[in-house]
Amino acid sequence: MNVKKTKINGLLIIEPDIFYDDRGYFFESFNQKKYQEIITSKKFIQDNQSKSKKSTIRGLHYQVGKNAQGKLVRVVIGKIRDIAVDIRFGSPTFGQYIAVELSSRNFLQLWIPEGFAHGFSTLEDNTIVQYKCTAFYSSEDERGILYNDTDLSIDWGINNPIVSEKDLQNNLFKNIDKDFIYLNE
């Protein structure tokens, strides 16, 4: 397994070892022991999966308090532009984001710890995204940032996005609460 740090402290791109032969391929998409050594001592307790049309945007989402979530994201079928925005007040990269192309062909995974807003755009039809979470979903602790907030200027890599009514009601970045404070780790 190859682990790459990104320009934002805490965000990691994970490239699993893929074993090919004349039948196809095999890889471990998750191994608790290995991943706990690399990314978090917390256990993953919920798996989520979505299927989306091309040009769909889901996000930007995060949870706060005791239900703040770390996420390990991968694509089962298709391709996405995965986005993680640093919302840790006091961070040298506060308000910055990374964009990583995850696909069923490159097998990459993105580790997004607590303190980041997460979203993605689908670059192919019928894209299936799967992610592991370190906390259960909690509607009371759910928060969001408007995907097209001009303060963030995120390049989603698509035109004419399909966005849910709920996500269109998300907060502006400048109005988010100080739910996460950066601790230089």
Annotated catalytic residue, options 35, 62, 97, 131: 131
**Is 118 in the active site?**
no
Spatial distance between the Cα atoms of 112 and 86, rounded to a whole number of angstroms: 10
pLDDT of residue 50: 98
Do residues 161 and 147 lie in contact, with contact meaning Cβ atoms separated by under 8 Å? yes
Chain segment 15-50, per-residue pLDDT in tens:
999 999 999 999 999 989 888 888 877 899 999 999
Structural domain includes residue 183: no
Decide which of 35 and 118 is more confident.
Answer: 118
pLDDT of residue 150: 97
% residues pLDDT > 70 (the chain):
99
Structural domain includes residue 182: no
Structural domain includes residue 113: yes
Decide which of 174 and 33 is more confident.
Answer: 174
The token pair at 161 is 């996005």
Chain segment 36-95, per-residue pLDDT in tens:
888 877 899 999 999 999 999 999 999 999 999 999 999 999 999 999 999 999 999 999
Structural domain includes residue 93: yes
pLDDT of residue 152: 98
Do residues 147 and 163 lie in contact, with contact meaning Cβ atoms separated by under 8 Å? yes
Spatial distance between the Cα atoms of 9 and 93, rounded to a whole number of angstroms: 8
Q: Domain range spanning residue 8?
A: 2-175
- Nearest-10 Cα torsion for 175, 155, 11, 15: 160
Structural domain includes residue 151: yes
Structural domain includes residue 135: yes
pLDDT of residue 185: 59
Decide which of 123 and 38 is more confident.
Answer: 123
pLDDT of residue 36: 86
Count structural domains, the chain: 1
Q: What is the pTM of this model?
A: 0.95
Spatial distance between the Cα atoms of 157 and 108, rounded to a whole number of angstroms: 18
Annotated catalytic residue, options 35, 61, 62, 97: 61
Tell me the pairing of strands 97-103 and 127-133.
unpaired
Least Cα distance to 119 among 91, 76, 152, 81 occurs for: 81
% residues pLDDT > 90 (the chain):
92
The token pair at 184 is 């230089």
Residue 18, domain CATH: 2.60.120.10
Structural domain includes residue 87: yes
Spatial distance between the Cα atoms of 59 and 77, rounded to a whole number of angstroms: 19
**Is 61 in the active site?**
yes
pLDDT of residue 42: 84
Helix (H, G, I), strand (E, B) or coil at 174: helix
